[in-house]
Amino acid sequence: MNERTPEQELDAFFGPRPAEPDSRPRQKLGIVVGGSLSQGLDVKLDRATVIEGLAVGRYVVAHGRTGRRFFSIVTDVQLDALNPLIEKAPPETMHGTDDDDFLARVYRGTAVYGRIHVSPMLMLDAGDDEPKPVKTIPSHFRPVYTASEEEVGLIFGREEEPGYFYVGEPLEMEGVHVALDLHRFVERSAGVFGKTGTGKSFLTRMLLAGLVRENVAVNLVFDMHNEYGWKSQDESKQQVKGLSQLFPGRVVVFTLDEQSSRRRGSKVDGVIRIGYEQIEPEDVDSLANLMALSDVQVGALYFLRRRLGQGWVARLLDEHDPLAELESALERGTIHGGTLGAIQRKLGMFRRFDFLHPRAAEDPVRQLLDHLDGGINVVLEFGRYGNSLEAYLLVANYLTRRIHEHYVRRKEAAQGDVGSSGAGGQEPRPLVITIEEAHKFLDPAIARHTIFGTIARELRKYNVTLLIVDQRPSGIDPEIMSQIGTRVTCLLDDESDVRAVFAGISGANTLREVLARLDSRQQALMMGHAVPMPVVVKTRTYGPALYAELGLAAEGKNGAEATLARGRSLLRGDEGEVEI
């Protein structure tokens, strides 16, 4: 029998206990002994500093002679010796493991010592409270300390401030919270990268939860694997809550596959059906690679749309339709019979997609926009179609293209209002579109033709940005990658993926080691637009503690979850945050 101790029972009810803030005094690590602004600084570690306690990615602060503080990140850890001969012929008694050996105690920190390489990123003048990009370096022999909680807060902002969301703890700084500036996060497209099994989905769900809680943007999530809307399972088969459960009333779940959603017990708010007559050649064009459509065949799609009208797809799929309008074109050779046949065969794939109907009762775009315009976040579950890349690409492109058009119109109208009356127009609420397997949308061959390439390139011009989740960033068009503002990167092995992630990031070379040494779970390197300097975080656990925190903020503090969260908070002694 699997009995729990009273302590475990309490933990199960209250959720994991929050870690104690890092109250240790600031520790001097060593002194600056060399380096440059471009290559980073060399720091000789003090004898008392245990090199094994320092990991790449850790934050350190060098104190300059002028009172300036240089916020830096550890990019390499080395062992060094005063004389290389010592490395070649170490004293015999030091071959063992006896650390108390006299010779070992004498040599350690003098003849042999630890050394770290740090990259200065930001500097803060004495008396100033806004860090600036680093433009110089500290003098020789200036002390280097571990970063304090106050310094981390100074760099990243405080989670208590509106628009900030606690995403994790810096490396080896347990209890210190790194807050992400969500306003900046949505200002430009962002990416979550990492190889399979590194926790991309959990990280993305956590970021989305932050965006919903802080209400900095409205989200449209193309949920390929049904992980974000309603409950799903983590790798240990534990159930985790979806966004709709955490924010009832503020997140709605739509599905393409009603049966799958019902089987999984997912509470959906609507079913998306797309009519054949709503499909345009551009929607099929975006699938050209997957459907193996040649350039000629893609050109023919537009021709067929013109000739056959709005119902062109339905008619091409109708085996009994003689397609009389095409006879003259076939005779003249405007379109080749073989091309037409190939298109019909390839479009035949649409028959397998039950969400495609000859006629749809409702306009799916309108369904989504009604919610998005009202500030309600939308998760679109793909059900079994998540396994079909063609379905995912078709639907994501179809919906996004039209929603983007709607945003362009609204934005332009808002600008027009400003121009004509000066009274200020109704700007569309910022929209973040989350897509998975992004390299399939943003492949160099098709990125220029898909709506996602357009959105990534135009930045926030029309208040629409992307949150792309991908395991193969090298497959994404480099031009698009260079436009990704914030990059949250879990462990990546492949050299080309690592190179792609760092494209367009200054000082990227020094961060490669940091990325290569990330743990395979719950660690991510965050860099780019939303963070003042790169940071390795142990990402916060997506679990009861997060639910409780979000429950307090959710939907006017109603519902069983919120009540439970309030109770937990009260019992923990956080009365100040709760209104009873």
Partner 1 sequence: MTSQTIRVGRVLRAGTRGFAIGCAVMQPDIPAFGSFVRAEGLAPGSAIYGLIYDVSMEDDPLVRQIVSADPPEEVVRDQRRNRQIPIEVSVLAVGCAHDEDIRHCLPAQPPVTLDWLYQCTDEEVQAFTSAGNTYAFDYFRLVLDAREVPVDELLAASLRTAAASRAESERERFLIEAGRALVRLLSSDPVRLEGLLRRLSRL
Distance between CA atoms of residues 26 and 21, nearest Å: 13
4 vs 47, which CB is nearer to partner 1? 47
Strand ranges inside 320-407, DSSP E: 356-357, 377-381
Three-class SS string for 302-317? HHHHHHHCCCHHHHHH
Distance between CA atoms of residues 354 and 274, nearest Å: 9
**DSSP-based three-state secondary structure for 552:** helix
Distance between CA atoms of residues 268 and 85, nearest Å: 70
- The interface region with partner 1, picked from 106-114, 420-428, 488-496, 553-561 by CB under 8 A, is 106-114
59 vs 113, which CB is nearer to partner 1? 113
Among 17, 24, 65, 105, binds partner 1 (CB under 8 A): 105
The three-point CA angle 154-157-160 to 5° equals 125
State the nearest-atom distance from the C-beta of 86 to partner 1, in Å. Answer: 5
88 vs 351, which CB is nearer to partner 1? 88
Among 8, 66, 110, 482, binds partner 1 (CB under 8 A): 110
State the nearest-atom distance from the C-beta of 88 to partner 1, in Å. Answer: 9
102 vs 424, which CB is nearer to partner 1? 102
State the nearest-atom distance from the C-beta of 76 to partner 1, in Å. Answer: 24
Backbone Cα Rg of the chain: 28
86 vs 323, which CB is nearer to partner 1? 86
State the nearest-atom distance from the C-beta of 145 to partner 1, in Å. Answer: 23
State the nearest-atom distance from the C-beta of 106 to partner 1, in Å. Answer: 3
103 vs 349, which CB is nearer to partner 1? 103
State the nearest-atom distance from the C-beta of 93 to partner 1, in Å. Answer: 8
Task: Report the site for partner 1 in 75-104 (rule: CB under 8 A).
Answer: 82-83, 85-86, 89, 91, 102-103
State the nearest-atom distance from the C-beta of 120 to partner 1, in Å. Answer: 29
| Amino acid, single-letter form, for residue 261 | S
**DSSP-based three-state secondary structure for 478:** helix
Number of residues forming the site for partner 1 (CB under 8 A): 14
Q: State residue 363 phi and psi, 5-degree precision.
A: -80, 115
Three-class SS string for 260-283? HHHHCCCCCCEECCEEHHHCCHHH
Among 107, 145, 164, 202, binds partner 1 (CB under 8 A): 107
Quick check: 520 and 197 in contact, CB under 8 A?
A: yes
Q: Which of these, 202, 212, 194, 191, lies nearest to 527 by C-alpha position? A: 191
Q: State residue 97 phi and psi, 5-degree precision.
A: -110, 10
Distance between CA atoms of residues 365 and 367, nearest Å: 5
84 vs 322, which CB is nearer to partner 1? 84
99 vs 579, which CB is nearer to partner 1? 99
107 vs 165, which CB is nearer to partner 1? 107
Close Cβ partners of 435 (under 8 Å, ≥ 6 residues apart)? 222, 396, 441, 452, 466, 467, 468, 469
State the nearest-atom distance from the C-beta of 101 to partner 1, in Å. Answer: 8
113 vs 254, which CB is nearer to partner 1? 113
Per-residue contact track with partner 1, 184 to 213, x per CB under 8 A? ------------------------------
Quick check: 479 and 214 in contact, CB under 8 A?
A: no
- The interface region with partner 1, picked from 16-24, 108-116, 355-363, 493-501 by CB under 8 A, is 108-116
Among 106, 126, 418, 570, binds partner 1 (CB under 8 A): 106
Close Cβ partners of 354 (under 8 Å, ≥ 6 residues apart)? 257
- The interface region with partner 1, picked from 107-115, 331-339, 417-425, 534-542 by CB under 8 A, is 107-115
Residue 111 contacts partner 1 per CB under 8 A: yes
Residues that bind partner 1 (CB under 8 A): 82-83, 85-86, 89, 91, 102-103, 105-107, 109-111
